[in-house]
Structure formats: structure tokens, C-alpha cells
Copies of this chain bind each other. A is one copy, B any other.
């Protein structure tokens, strides 16, 4: 398949230079030799550098140190870190310990960002002891199958990056690098991948090694070629999946370099934000609090869960919600709620049991005949209905109340909010620290809509 000119144009910009490749590989090779010289572990390069699928300039180096699986977790941790420290020192690096599933060392050597990660040298990916043990198998699998597709993977990565759907972190919920590689290999190139994706449906299943494996509930299921029990696309949300689908269709209909360049979107100013919000006529509320001291992959899902629970509380309380979103900043987190009504009538309808349900109906009537009500109980379609007072007629009062702690907040979010939280309404939600987030909320568009609006005007 010949490439269209725009793909060649893009590749010329993103393909790593031979000098860059040689340089990174040379450093990697020296680090591997240093690890193996210690006699404590084997070593290998993993990640995009190992596969030559890194985009120019984006050359983080991952060195995995493979220890004997007979070691205990504690021994692995101790020996792994001590070896990593030693090597970092030997290379004159600045370094620090970091924690994912277990600790590793992040070092800077000759301006390269390098991770030194201890793991178990298990015989097969189905026998891993922790998620990092799987990584070497991914690298081996891709190296064995990538022949001829290196440029295609680069295009797929740049395409998903520019479209805002690259990254399997919890904030993005998009495509990981490994997923881009597996899909490109499976379909046989970048263009065939797009042709297939243009026809994806929710629940699409891709089983490259024909494992015929277990069933997943995810929107896209890509059985890991090295582990039938794992869905490579588990982190992908339905939204990101179908944003990729629309991008694929849009690109196939009209290929252009625009699909490989994330257009700059400068944040709004306070004034424009305020004007746009007033035009919408909706009721915006923000909740901010100190960012819990955990990684984004811990905090972001808790922010989402908390915002979802508060959304339900708002809707149960009579405030219809248009959209919500969350943002984890360095210092503070923001939960954002856009409501269709900021105040609601004092009266709320409370639906009781069917009158035919004798015991419950009697209790309901007894209770409300004695209480102050606006109207009822009356019978509507065979059920009792009573019209009573609601505790909060203003959303701001509800959001400022302790009722928030009655709903399912994420653990660390709850902890942070117990130290205090701030509720702001309308244009007052504007906050320079969250300028990009607030702007993106009001200007939300799918990636293809954004590209079309930029290129067709």
C-alpha cells in the first residue's frame, strides 16, 4: 500500500533520527551490561525505544531488571532497588525512587529520562507475579511481529495523540502505546487499522492469537497476545473508542496532516468564559479542595466516583444536571457540575406505594395525614403521591452542606474534603489554575468536530 503524501510528510517529522536511535540504544546497551555484570539479574530494554516505535524527541528509556522468581517480594524489592541505586550512581545520574505496583528508580542520564524497574523473570506471561512482569513479554511479542510496521505504528501513535485519545491513564481513558502496536500489527498497517475502526461497534472483539478466551464487558476487547486473561483495551472508554472511530472515518474521507497535529487551544479569558456561560443560561457550580497526596491513577477514579455520586444527589434533590467533569491539579482538585436549574420549588413530589399494597399503603397514608404537606396523599395511577417540602431549594446550599458526606465519595477525596471544600457558582467558578479545564468544559467538542471546524472555515 502506498502512503498518501500527508503520511510521508508526517513521518518525516516524527520518525526518530538515526543519530537519536543510535544514541539511545547505546546508553540502553551500557545500562543492560552494567545490570548483567552485577550477576544479580538479567536486563532488557522495553517500551517504545526497544521497538523503535518512539516518536522523535519522546525517547524515555525503560530498562527492566529480571530477577529470579524464587526471590520473595521483599528480596526482589531490596535487591532491585539496591542494584538500581548502584547503577544510577555508577552513571553519575540524578535519581529518585518512585512507586507503581512496586518501587523502581527514575534516573536522568545525559538528559535522557530512564526508569530502572525490577521484575521477576517468569517463564510465561500467564505466570506473572505482578503487572510489571508482563512488560518484557509485550516487548518480545512486538519485536517478533513488528517487521515492516514500524512507520505504521508511529502514524497510529501520532494520530491518537493528536486526536486526544492516546494514553491509558484514568484521566484520558484512551489507547496505550502497546494497544496501538497490537492493533496495527493485527490489521496489517495504519490504513487497514483505520478502515477497520471505521466499522467498529461497541463490544468489538479482536483476538490476534486466537486464544478464544474469556468474555469481557468492555467496549473494545483486544485479547492480549501474551495473556488470554487480559484485555489490552481495558482502560479504553466508549467515548475515546468512538472518538477514534470518527477520526478514522474523517481521515479516510479526507486525509490531511491536520489529523496528526493537535491544534493549539488557548484557554478562554475570564471575560469570555463569563460571557459564554451567561449565553448558555445554565447554572455552573464548582467544588474545590486540596489534592490528596496520591498518584493520578489513584485520585482521578476517586474524583470521578465522587462527582458521579454528587450528581446523583443533585438529581435526587430536584436539580437536573447537564454535564459534570473533574480535574486533578497540582494543589487542588475541581469537581464541576452544570445544572439546568440552580433553584427549585419548595414543593417536591414524593411517590408512595401502590394502594393495592395494603400494609404499605396504610402506613404511608397514616404518616402523611399527620404531617404538614403541600397536598396529598392522593391517588395517581393507583399509587399514593404526596407533595412535601424539600430540604434544599438552592443547589449551592446543598453543595455546601454535609449531605455530601452521605454519598459515596472516594476515600482520599472524602479525607481531603473533610479538611474543607469551597463551592463557587456561575462565573465565580473561574480559576486561573483550572483555566484550561474550565475552557475545555464549555467548548467541549469531539476531535473530528474540532478538526473540521479548523480546516473547513
Contacts and interface: CB of A to CB of B under 8 A. Distances in A.
Contact of A345 (B249, B282, B382): B282
A443 B376 CA distance: 7
How many interface residues does chain A have, given as a range?
A: 35 or more
A175 B381 CA distance: 16
Contacts of A368: 449
Contacts of A380: 239
Contacts of A445: 375-378
Given A239-B381, A347-B322, A382-B239, A376 B281 contact: no
Nearest to A253: B362
Nearest to A361: B246
A202 to B, nearest CB: 6
- Pick the most buried of A219, A362, A374, A379: most chain B CB atoms within 10 A of its CB: A379
Contacts of A365: 246, 446, 448-449, 452
A201 interface: yes
A238 interface: yes
A377 B382 CA distance: 42
Q: Which of A200, A362, A378 counts the most B-chain CB atoms under 10 A from its CB?
A: A378
How many chain copies does the complex carry?
Answer: 2
Given A200-B356, A239-B381, A369-B452, A280 B446 contact: no
A165 to B, nearest CB: 10
A355 B322 CA distance: 20
A64 interface: no
Interface in A353-411: 354-356, 358, 361-362, 365, 368-369, 374-382, 384, 387, 393
A333 interface: no
A87 interface: no
A245 interface: yes
A199 interface: yes
A316 interface: no
Given A379-B446, A446-B376, A280 B198 contact: no
Interface string A100-137: 00000000000000000000000000000000000000
Contacts of A245: 355-356
A340 interface: yes
A190 to B, nearest CB: 20
A233 interface: no
A4 interface: no
Given A242-B379, A456-B369, A280 B340 contact: no
Contacts of A249: 358, 362
Contact of A281 (B346, B379, B453): B346
Interface string A278-313: 011111000000000000000000000000000000
5 contacts: A202-B356, A238-B382, A246-B379, A340-B341, A377-B446
